[in-house]
């Protein structure tokens, strides 16, 4: 099983493809260099396979590579960052 995470700026979200099929996404609102993550969804047939974690990890790595920051309003992204403190430096307070 191969994962690919790509940003879809037109839809304001990062999408994860599993073997070429859309498996989930995490939506955001852009605020300059900050992305406010509002909702994460993984299709039922891809749940409990590590797809959500791969989506969150790769999304945060892409944000880091761009020098961006995040506001994790989405409960899934907030929990992922809480459990993976290596991404805590990306978090800023909501404005």
pLDDT given at position 71: 98
Tens-digit pLDDT profile for residues 67-82:
999 999 999 999 999 9
Name the band, by pLDDT with cuts 50, 70 and 90, for residue 49. very high
Residue keyed to tokens 């020098």: 67
Q: How high does pLDDT run on average in the chain?
A: 96
The residue ranges of every structural domain in the chain are: 3-90
Separation of alpha carbons 81 and 21, rounded Å: 26
Crossing angle of helices 51-65 and 75-83, rounded to 10°: 80
The answer to whether residue 95 scores a pLDDT higher than 80 is: no
Q: Read off the pLDDT band of 62 (50, 70, 90).
A: very high
Asked: is 3-90 a CATH 3.30.530.20 domain? The reply is no
Q: pLDDT tens across 6-22, in order?
A: 999 999 999 999 999 99
Is the model's pTM score more than 0.85? Answer: yes
Dihedral angle over CA of 67, 73, 77, 83, nearest 10: 100
Res 1: pLDDT: 79
């Amino acid at each position: 099983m191969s994962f690919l995470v790509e940003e879809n700026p037109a839809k304001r979200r990062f999408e994860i493809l599993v073997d070429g099929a859309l498996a989930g996404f995490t939506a955001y609102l852009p605020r300059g260099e900050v992305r406010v993550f509002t909702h994460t969804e993984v299709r039922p047939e891809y749940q409990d396979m590590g797809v959500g974690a791969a989506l969150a990890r790769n999304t945060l790595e892409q944000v880091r590579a761009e020098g961006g920051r995040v506001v994790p309003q989405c409960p899934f992204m907030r929990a992922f960052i809480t459990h993976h403190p290596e991404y805590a430096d990306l978090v800023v307070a909501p404005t």
